[in-house]
């Protein structure tokens, strides 16, 4: 039986050419795998037929939008997943679900190798290959762009020579990756980090400089997952899509960042994630109301490490799974409603309520009805500061007291 290679197939120029390119370079048959994670564009049936027309022996297509939203975006929301405190891991969380379907296809069609269209200097090569070996250690990976020297110019020439049913152009200045959680744009003139993004960079968001009338939305959460918008029940996918529309119309979620890639270089990236950023803002505020103080403090460190692991392609790693367990436990009481005002590029929390709230009005108020016994404060401060007081006294005995400088007291 001829060897088979499963190729992550987008339907675009590079992966369409890669079908024949891989076959010629390796002698293997190619099985194209197209996974819809909400990136928009063409119908899956059209993509399936194009893959077959370009030489694939089989075409596996999957509508994974609900799966992606529920099993990948929602854990990212519960973890407040933001790499470098700003990037909501748009591309990073889509790679594991694509790989899962690639592995499924490899086993279905008897392939021993998987292929992807990543370069040798990006993060995605790591995400695809580490996820593959984590799910199916017996599979090997190849990357035509990286391993077989498939450049864009060669891809265009190959497509024209073989009359492939795919548009060829050298004019697109950007590299774009998008899904329902957001959109990533890089390369072209953006590689000069002094250059300001132009209007044509953006697609998911409108210009926040001239916003429409402010939009108020009430988001209902159950255990950290949005279940209703303005009282109307929604699935995770519907929640993201609707918040993309409403927050995007207000220019929410534009991110321009120089980030640290896994391979050791810094890269300028422009992201649009209106729904993700609005939902994360609401979720963070509900956690402020419902998480116990020490639990919330510890979770901040977990969130940072969780985001780093996911960014670095370790979605299926043992540590990531352990952190998932902690995050899931913290969401037990993260239920309630958050009122957001979307306007001029900002998602601003203006109200919060929860039956599981730890906010006690009678303890917090300074007015009549105050239930906080202030007489306890003096003794609390004495005990709380006792260790520091003892250490300061020791420093004084050894001549190491604080230097206040001349004239500071």
Residues flagged as binding site for ATP: 8-16, 117
**Residues annotated in a binding site for L-aspartate:** 119, 123-124
Are 69 and 210 in contact, with CB atoms under 8 Å apart?
A: no
Catalytic annotation, pick one of 95, 183, 268, 346: 95
Active-site annotation holds for 152: no
DSSP per residue over 1-54, as a string? ---EEEEE--SSHHHHHHHHHHHHHH--EEEEEEEESS--SS-HHHHHHHHHHT
Separation between Cα atoms, residue 7 and residue 15, nearest integer Å: 8
- Sign of the C-alpha dihedral computed for residues 322, 323, 328 and 330 taken in this order: positive
Query: Regarding beta strands 215-222 and 225-229, do their DSSP bridges make them parallel or antiparallel, or are they unpaired?
Result: antiparallel
**Residues annotated in a binding site for L-citrulline:** 87, 123, 127, 175, 259, 271
Active-site annotation holds for 268: no
Question: Taking the mean position of all CA atoms in its chain, how far away is CA 65?
Answer: 15
Catalytic annotation, pick one of 4, 14, 50, 312: 14
CB burial readout 172-195, b (16+ within 10 A) else e: eeeeebbbbbbbbbbeeebeeeee
Are 266 and 258 in contact, with CB atoms under 8 Å apart?
A: yes
φ, ψ (nearest 5 deg) of residue 30: -110, 130
Give whole-number Cα distances, 137 to 41, 112, 144, 187, 396, in Å: 33, 10, 21, 33, 62
Are 80 and 306 in contact, with CB atoms under 8 Å apart?
A: no
**Residues annotated in a binding site:** 8-16, 87, 117, 119, 123-124, 127, 175, 259, 271
Active-site annotation holds for 95: yes
Separation between Cα atoms, residue 99 and residue 313, nearest integer Å: 11
Q: Which tokens is 343 given?
A: 């306007």
Separation between Cα atoms, residue 350 and residue 127, nearest integer Å: 38
Separation between Cα atoms, residue 55 and residue 183, nearest integer Å: 30
Catalytic annotation, pick one of 4, 36, 94, 124: 124
Computed over its alpha carbons, how large is the radius of gyration of the chain?
Answer: 26
Active-site annotation holds for 357: no
Separation between Cα atoms, residue 284 and residue 332, nearest integer Å: 14
Catalytic annotation, pick one of 45, 63, 175, 322: 175
Closest CA to 221 of 289, 272, 274, 273: 289
- Please identify every residue annotated as catalytic: 14, 95, 124, 175
């Amino acid at each position: 039986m001829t060897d088979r290679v499963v190729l992550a197939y987008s339907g675009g120029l590079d992966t369409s050419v890669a079908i024949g390119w891989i076959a010629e370079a390796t002698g293997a048959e190619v099985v194209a795998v197209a996974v819809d994670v909400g990136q928009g564009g063409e119908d899956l049936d059209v993509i399936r037929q194009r893959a077959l027309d370009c030489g694939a022996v089989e075409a596996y297509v999957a509508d994974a939008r609900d799966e992606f939203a529920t099993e990948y975006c929602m854990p990212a929301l519960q973890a407040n997943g933001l790499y470098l405190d700003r990037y909501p891991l748009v591309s990073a969380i889509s790679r594991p679900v694509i790989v899962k379907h690639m592995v499924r296809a490899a086993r279905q069609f008897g392939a021993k190798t998987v292929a992807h269209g990543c370069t040798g200097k990006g993060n995605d090569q790591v995400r695809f290959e580490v996820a593959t070996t984590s799910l199916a250690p017996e599979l090997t990976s190849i990357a035509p762009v990286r391993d077989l020297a498939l450049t864009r110019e060669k891809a265009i020439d190959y497509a024209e020579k073989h009359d492939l049913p795919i548009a060829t152009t050298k004019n697109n200045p950007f590299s774009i990756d998008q899904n329902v959680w957001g959109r990533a744009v890089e390369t072209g003139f953006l590689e000069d980090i002094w250059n300001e993004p132009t209007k044509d960079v953006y697609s998911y968001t409108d210009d926040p400089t001239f916003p429409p009338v402010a939009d108020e939305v009430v988001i209902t959460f159950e255990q950290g997952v949005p279940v209703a918008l303005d009282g109307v029940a929604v699935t995770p996918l519907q929640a993201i899509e609707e918040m993309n529309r409403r927050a995007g119309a207000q220019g929410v979620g534009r991110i321009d960042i120089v980030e640290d890639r896994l391979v050791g270089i810094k890269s300028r990236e422009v992201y649009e994630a209106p729904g993700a950023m609005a939902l994360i803002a609401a979720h963070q505020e509900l956690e402020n109301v419902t998480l116990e103080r020490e639990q919330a403090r510890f979770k901040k460190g977990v969130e940072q490490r969780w985001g780093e692991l996911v960014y670095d392609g370790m979605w299926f790693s043992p540590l990531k799974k352990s952190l998932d367990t902690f995050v899931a436990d913290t969401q037990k009481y993260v239920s309630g409603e958050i009122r957001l005002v979307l306007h001029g590029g900002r998602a601003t929390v203006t109200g919060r309520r929860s039956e599981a709230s730890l906010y006690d009005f009678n303890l917090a108020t300074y007015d009549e009805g105050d239930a906080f016994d202030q007489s306890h404060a003096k003794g609390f401060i004495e005990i709380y500061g006792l260790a520091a007081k003892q250490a300061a006294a020791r420093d004084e005995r050894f001549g190491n007291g604080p230097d206040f400088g001349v004239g500071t007291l």
